[in-house]
Amino acid sequence: MKVEDKVMDLAKRRGFIWGPSPNIYQGGLKGFYDWGPLGKLLKNKVENVLRKGFSGFSFWEVECPTIMPKEVWQASGHLEGFSDPVSKCLGCKSYFRVDNTINEKFPDLDVEGLNNEKLKEILDKKKIKCPSCKGELGTVESFDLMMKTKIGIDQEAYLRPETATTTYLLYPEYYRFFRTKLPFGVFQIGKAYRNEISPRQGVFRTREFTQAEAQLFILKDQEKKFEKINDYAEEILPLVKHNSKAIKKVKLKDVVKQKYMKKEAYSYMVYVAYKLIRDMGFDEKKIRIRQHTPEKLAHYADDAWDIEVNTDRYGWFELCGVHDRTDYDLKRHSKYSKTKMEVAGEVPRILEIAFGLERTTYSLLENSLVNDKERDWLEFDKGMAPIDVAIFPLMKKEGMPELAKEIFAELDNEFICNYDDSGSIGKRYRRMDEIGTSFCITVDHDSVKEGDVTLREISTMTQVRVKKTELKEIIRDLLYGDLTFEKIK
């Protein structure tokens, strides 16, 4: 079985990802997925890294509504330009998103940002047929991605297609909150909605998804020289320029000097995003930071780089985009709302980091799958496993269950824990290995008498005896500190 098939089999069987949802109604609705108990725990861990990471870099969290009136989306430009290229099969009459359909057949062909005419040329030249019935695909047209709704009886409104716009609208409040001093940063984690015409890449492309987006509001003269970059000057970024396929390792302090990027503040934002991806435990060799080609840039953008991870299922895939949005957004909302958004006559600029949590969580799941002759198991980075600790009584007698439940109650208020007393101890270990549980604690006869337990770690399956009273501190140091399992011995 291929790695990607093993991942999806595990994801469905063990309660990471289910769908399409709702499955009990005619097999579900494409583009909507359920995150089961383990999937939600893992997604929470990813979200926690982003929340803690953004906060650590001095971004403040906000939460905004997911529905906004029509006027907001007119100002943002979404109503006039937020669409995907689609084509209708002349045979079965099904619709397909053209760029995705092309990349399913030719994954190395870069078609992002091409206009409808050029996409049609590729369909014809490559003789790409309907994925469903192999019929001819018709003309390529633009399809509106916005999801429309109503507020009250008749006020026209739309579900947000990303969290960014709703974050921008609070600029006057931020300006007061941050005591009229720029730059300042905020971030938002929440749901967004896009009416994808034919979502065909599982949780990588859905109609409802979670975003984590950070925005740095900054003035033009602050972008060139950015003091915070000095704290990370020696850090290395794996960069791929738009006119190259080679990854170049460049120190952050040299990114602007070597003309990879134009502004220190922007390169700092790219580093922040890259650091958060690394903090999740992704293999460094599977990460690259790729620049958008000039023709792909949005009309308002000055630069854009994507942080991509090499997946077995989809190849190189974007998990995060970093965008220099210039002063476009605040100017537009200032004009349409008739609200002044200036500082000494200048409209602030916005540098943005945008993560998709579902695709990041799936990629982390795939990244963590280990194949060896003895077992299939998941190896997560410290603190990233869905379950931190599993507690087992060796037998259901002689006070072992009572002590195991006591330990569970003590640890569960700080860590994600699981109590399991079903089956042989070997089978219980394998169940936990398969879902990546970091540590297992076994309560046996001696535990009841002496007050110590067996602590087992997942990667080497090494076991040590630990005093019950020391468990919490040891596990805390193993997950979040510098303690290694070898030092316990």
pLDDT score for 2: 79
Q: What is the mean pLDDT of each run of 10 residues along the chain (489 residues)?
A: 85 96 93 97 98 98 98 93 88 89 86 87 93 92 91 96 97 97 98 87 91 98 96 98 94 98 98 98 96 88 97 92 97 97 96 97 95 88 97 95 97 97 96 97 96 96 96 96 88
For residues 45, 37, 366, 387, the Cα torsion angle rounded to the nearest 10 degrees is: 60
pLDDT score for 489: 67
pLDDT score for 346: 97
**34: phi then psi, degrees, rounded to nearest 5:** -100, 140
The domains located in the chain, with CATH, are: 3-75+149-366 (3.30.930.10), 83-144 (3.30.40.230), 379-488 (3.40.50.800)
Residue 285: Cβ within 10 Å count: 9
pLDDT score for 44: 98
Q: How far apart are CA 189 and CA 348, in angstroms?
A: 23
Q: How far apart are CA 145 and CA 161, in angstroms?
A: 8
- Is residue 195 classed as helix, strand or coil in its secondary structure? coil
Q: How far apart are CA 211 and CA 213, in angstroms?
A: 6
Tell me 383's DSSP state. Answer: T
Tell me 292's DSSP state. Answer: P
b or e along 142-158 (b: 16 or more beta carbons within 10 Å of the residue's beta carbon)? ebebbbeeeeeeeeebb
- Is residue 104 classed as helix, strand or coil in its secondary structure? helix
Q: Which helix (H) or strand (E) holds 473?
A: helix 471-480
Burial of 262 (0-12, 13-18, 19+ CB in 10 A): middle
For the stretch 20-77, pLDDT in tens is 999 999 989 999 999 999 999 999 999 999 999 999 999 999 999 999 999 999 999 9
Q: Residue holding tokens 């999937």?
A: 39
Q: How far apart are CA 316 and CA 6, in angstroms?
A: 19
Q: How far apart are CA 320 and CA 353, in angstroms?
A: 7
